[in-house]
C-alpha cells in the first residue's frame, strides 16, 4: 500500500498563519502539522508522496532527506485534488493508495480500515464519523450495508450527520473510468461514483481515534487546547519567567515570554515574543503579530 497526502492547499481560512508557511507546515505542539500524518502512516505503507504548490519551498525543505517520501510540484497554485490524482495515476494506479487531506490531525486505525476495504471489495472506502454540525464537511448518506448512496459537499441542509473525514482508500481500478474533467474529490469524484452506484463504502472511524480538521483559526487553537488539557505545554528550549502567568498555553521553542505577561488559552509560535505585562486570552502569537480567536459558537 502507498500513501498520498494532499498538501497543496492555499489555506485561506487559516490566514494569517499561512501567509508565510503552507498549511501542512504550520506548527502544532511545536512540530509541523504534517509530521503527525507522516509518522502515523509510515509503518503501514511502502512509500508516501505529497503534492506541493502554494508556499511550497518550506515543505519541500522539510521533506528533503525523509526516507520513502517524495513530492509532486503542481506549480504556484493548486490544480485540484482529483486532477492531482489523475496526473499521478502512475503512482496511485499501481497499488492500494491511502489518500489523506494534509491538514488533518488523526490517529485512526489504518489496519482496520484496510481490512474493511478488502472485506467489502470496495473501489473506494471513505473514513466517516458523526458530528453535530456537518454543514462545513462532505456529508455521506449510506444504506444498511454501509455502501455510500449519495455524497453532498458542504450542504446548507445536510441529509445526514455522517461526514467524510478526508481519509480515503483508493483501489487502483478506480482510474479505469476516471473522468478527466473531475477537479475535486469531494465535489466531483465521490458524488459521481455514488450516483453511478460504484462500490464505495463508508468506514466508521474507531471511536477512540482523535480527529481534527485543522481548517480554521478556531479549530487550530481548540486542537492545541485539547492536547494541552488543563496544563501548559512549554518547549524544553524555552524559559518562562516566574512572574509570568500561563494557563492552558502552548509555547514553542525559542519563544520569549517577558516578565509579568499573562496568557490564558494561547498558542505562542516558535521564535515569537510576548511583551512585558501583555494580557492575552485565546490568542495565537506569531513572530510578527497577534491573532485573537473568538470563542467557539455552537448552533442550537
* CATH code of the domain in which 152 resides: 3.90.550.10
168-181 tens-digit pLDDT: 999 999 999 899 99
Residues 231 and 256 grouped into a single domain: yes
Mean pLDDT of 113-141: 93
CB atoms under 10 Å from CB of 79, counted, come to 15
**% pLDDT > 70, the chain:** 98
73-77 CB contacts, 8 Å cutoff, 24+ apart:
74/8, 77/10, 77/53
Cell of 207: 471511536
In-domain check, residue 298? no
**Is the model's pLDDT at 295 over the cut of 70?**
no
Residues 186 and 164 grouped into a single domain: yes
Report yes or no: 17 and 216 within 8 Å, Cβ to Cβ: no
Q: What is the per-residue pLDDT for 298?
A: 38
**The last residue of a domain, from among 163, 178, 213:** 213
Mean pLDDT of 193-222: 91
In-domain check, residue 147? yes
Residues 108 and 91 grouped into a single domain: yes
In-domain check, residue 251? yes
Residues 50 and 188 grouped into a single domain: yes
Residues 164 and 285 grouped into a single domain: no
**The last residue of a domain, from among 213, 237, 257:** 213
In-domain check, residue 299? no
Mean pLDDT of 70-90: 92
Cβ-count burial of 27 within 10 angstroms (0-12 exposed, 13-18 middle, 19+ buried)?
buried
Residues 154 and 280 grouped into a single domain: no
Q: What is the rounded CA–CA span in Å between residue 209 and residue 9? A: 25
Number of domains in the chain: 2
In-domain check, residue 12? yes
CB atoms under 10 Å from CB of 299, counted, come to 6
In-domain check, residue 297? no
**% pLDDT > 90, the chain:** 67
Q: What is the rounded CA–CA span in Å between residue 298 and residue 9? A: 27
Please, which pLDDT band fits residue 35 given cuts at 50, 70 and 90?
Answer: very high
Q: Domain span at residue 250?
A: 217-292
Residues 174 and 249 grouped into a single domain: no
**The last residue of a domain, from among 213, 235, 254:** 213
In-domain check, residue 300? no
Residues 232 and 281 grouped into a single domain: yes
Residues 170 and 123 grouped into a single domain: yes
Residues 197 and 247 grouped into a single domain: no
Q: What is the rounded CA–CA span in Å between residue 14 and residue 267? A: 14
Amino acid at each position: 500500500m502507498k500513501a498520498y497526502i494532499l498538501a497543496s492547499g492555499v489555506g485561506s481560512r487559516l490566514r494569517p498563519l499561512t501567509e508565510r508557511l503552507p498549511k501542512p507546515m504550520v506548527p502544532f505542539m511545536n512540530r509541523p502539522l504534517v509530521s503527525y500524518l507522516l509518522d502515523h502512516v509510515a509503518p503501514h505503507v511502502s512509500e508516501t508522496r505529497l503534492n506541493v504548490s502554494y508556499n511550497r519551498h518550506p515543505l519541500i525543505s522539510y521533506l528533503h532527506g525523509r526516507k520513502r517520501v517524495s513530492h509532486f510540484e503542481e506549480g504556484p497554485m493548486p490544480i485540484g485534488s482529483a486532477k492531482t490524482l489523475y496526473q499521478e495515476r502512475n503512482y496511485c494506479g499501481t497499488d492500494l493508495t491511502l489518500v489523506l487531506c494534509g491538514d488533518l490531525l488523526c490517529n485512526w486505525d489504518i489496519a482496520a480500515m484496510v481490512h474493511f476495504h478488502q472485506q467489502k471489495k470496495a473501489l473506494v472506502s471513505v473514513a466517516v464519523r458523526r458530528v453535530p454540525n456537518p454543514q462545513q464537511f462532505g456529508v455521506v448518506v449510506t444504506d444498511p450495508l454501509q455502501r455510500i448512496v449519495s455524497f453532498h459537499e458542504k450542504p446548507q441542509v445536510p441529509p445526514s450527520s455522517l461526514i467524510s473525514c478526508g481519509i480515503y482508500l483508493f483501489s487502483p481500478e478506480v482510474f479505469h473510468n476516471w473522468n478527466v474533467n473531475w477537479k475535486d474529490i469531494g465535489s466531483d469524484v465521490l458524488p459521481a461514483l455514488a450516483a453511478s452506484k460504484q462500490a464505495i463504502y463508508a468506514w466508521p472511524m474507531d471511536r477512540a481515534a482523535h480527529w481534527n480538521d485543522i481548517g480554521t483559526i478556531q479549530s487550530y487553537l481548540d486542537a492545541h487546547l485539547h492536547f494541552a488539557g488543563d496544563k501548559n505545554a512549554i518547549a524544553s528550549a524555552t524559559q518562562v519567567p516566574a512572574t509570568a502567568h500561563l494557563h492552558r498555553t502552548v509555547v514553542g521553542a525559542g519563544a520569549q515570554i517577558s516578565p509579568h505577561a499573562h496568557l490564558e488559552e494561547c498558542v505562542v509560535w516558535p521564535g515569537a515574543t510576548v511583551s512585558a505585562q501583555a494580557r492575552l486570552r485565546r490568542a495565537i502569537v506569531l513572530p510578527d503579530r497577534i491573532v485573537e480567536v473568538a470563542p467557539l459558537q455552537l448552533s442550537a
